[in-house]
Amino acid sequence: MMRQVALVTGAAQGLGRVIAEKLHAAGYAVAVTDVVEDEVRALAAGLDPSGETALGLALDVTRKADFEAALEAARAKWGVVHVAVNNAAVTPTTPVMQISPEEFDKVITVNLRGTFLGCQVFGAYFAASGYGRIINLASLAGQNGGTASGAHYASSKAGILTLTKIFARELGAANVTVNAVAPGPMDLPSVHASVPAERLARIVDTIPVKRLGDPAFVADIVVKLAAPEAAFVTGAAWDINGGIFMR
């Protein structure tokens, strides 16, 4: 079987980096993309010093042309792309009454429009190819309004859950699945950096399992959803939240 090829946005750090590493470890060739080009080039070199199975690319998710260029670069290297992971996001925690219109627009543009453009560009390519897997990173915040996150962040993630259903319905007949993963609070440097320790301890205390989530497990779920065998899963939101939100 030919090697599967995946592209991950926002892969320079955090959950995106863990997802890229897990996909590569599972045997995928991986295009790692981010606005911070130096970091994804370094990540790609670390994944595969030979450069055969990893490629670092600049991709600003607010620009449709960047998605198109990244897709073409991956195809030029490997001939095909099978999987797209829309992970890139900004995560400000500004209190709701203090969010400026400009900050609101920026968060919605990066998180929600960025995911929309990724689904649109890769969805069209996958549909024409007759196969594809799209995995969008949503969040518990988009389901319960968020506890530590900003209102604009939570709203963007709620929109991603809806976009996932729309593209799943649109692309299903073309053998393209579109799913979302909705993590709760993760044990990531970004979480520890954005939430003061005392507040984080209080948040952990409200989680039924009394712990933060494991980013590696979230990445494992992404790998599962990326697999050819995941053909009967589409339009779904996979909840990984320690029991904070149950349905």
Q: Is residue 102 part of a domain?
A: yes
pLDDT higher than 60, residue 193 = yes
pTM: 0.97
pLDDT-derived band at 147 (thresholds 50, 70, 90) equals: confident
Residue 99 contacts residue 152 (beta carbons within 8 Å)? yes
Q: Is residue 135 part of a domain?
A: yes
How high is the mean pLDDT of the chain? 96
pLDDT higher than 70, residue 1 = no
Rounded Cα distance between 100 and 97, Å, is: 8
Rounded Cα distance between 109 and 49, Å, is: 34
Q: Is residue 186 part of a domain?
A: yes
Q: Is residue 247 part of a domain?
A: no
Q: Is residue 246 part of a domain?
A: no
pLDDT in tens, 94-139: 999 999 999 999 999 999 999 999 999 999 999 999 999 999 999 9
Please state the domain count of the chain.
1
Query: What pLDDT score was predicted for residue 2?
Result: 72
Count each helix (H run) and each strand (E run) in the chain, helices first: 10, 7
Biggest distance spanned by C-alpha atoms of the chain? 54
Q: Is residue 21 part of a domain?
A: yes
Residue numbers of the domain that contains 19: 5-240
pLDDT higher than 70, residue 185 = yes
User: Percent of the chain at pLDDT above 70?
Assistant: 100
Residue 119 contacts residue 133 (beta carbons within 8 Å)? no
Q: Is residue 144 part of a domain?
A: yes
Q: What is the Rg, in whole angstroms, of the alpha carbon atoms belonging to the chain? A: 17
Rounded Cα distance between 19 and 131, Å, is: 21
Which phi and psi (to 5°) does residue 172 adopt? -55, -45
Q: 131 an active-site residue?
A: no
Residue 73: helix, strand or coil by DSSP? helix
Q: Is residue 245 part of a domain?
A: no
Rounded Cα distance between 11 and 87, Å, is: 8
Domain with residue 17: its CATH number is 3.40.50.720
pLDDT-derived band at 177 (thresholds 50, 70, 90) equals: very high
Sheet of 132-137: strands edge to edge? 54-58, 29-34, 5-8, 83-86, 132-137, 176-183, 237-240
